[in-house]
Amino acid sequence: MVDVLEKAFDFYEKREKSVNEFNISRQNIQTIEEQMKAFQGKITREELKSGIKNLNPVLFQKIGLVITYSILKGALEDILRNY
């Protein structure tokens, strides 16, 4: 009986950890989406600079998008240079 309870408790802990990680990822994605709204539509050079500065690499790292962040930031900086 004790073995069954330990297994159930382990399962519950793993489930809670997974749910928490999912919720954190979802919050990070929502925050990234908010940051990306700055690049929609027509924007000025200053708005572009500000948007690039506001991109948070930590949020991308938390959900495994390190390369995506690097490519995105590089592309935005190229646009800024050629603006």
Is the C-alpha dihedral spanning 61, 37, 35, 30 positive or negative?
negative
Q: Quick one: which H or E segment has residue 38?
A: none
Instruction: State the pLDDT confidence band at 2, using cuts at 50, 70 and 90.
Output: confident
Per the structure, how many domains does the chain have? Answer: 1
Measured distance CA(35)–CA(52) in Å, rounded: 9
Mean pLDDT of 47-70: 92
Give the pLDDT confidence of 6-55 residue by residue, as tens digits: 988 999 999 999 999 999 999 999 999 999 999 999 999 999 999 999 99
Phi, psi (5° rounding) for residue 16? -60, -40
Average pLDDT over residues 68-79: 95
End-to-end CA distance of the chain: 69
Instruction: Tell me which residue range forms the domain holding 10.
Output: 2-81
Measured CA to CA, the distance from residue 12 to residue 34 in angstroms comes to 33
pTM of the model: 0.74
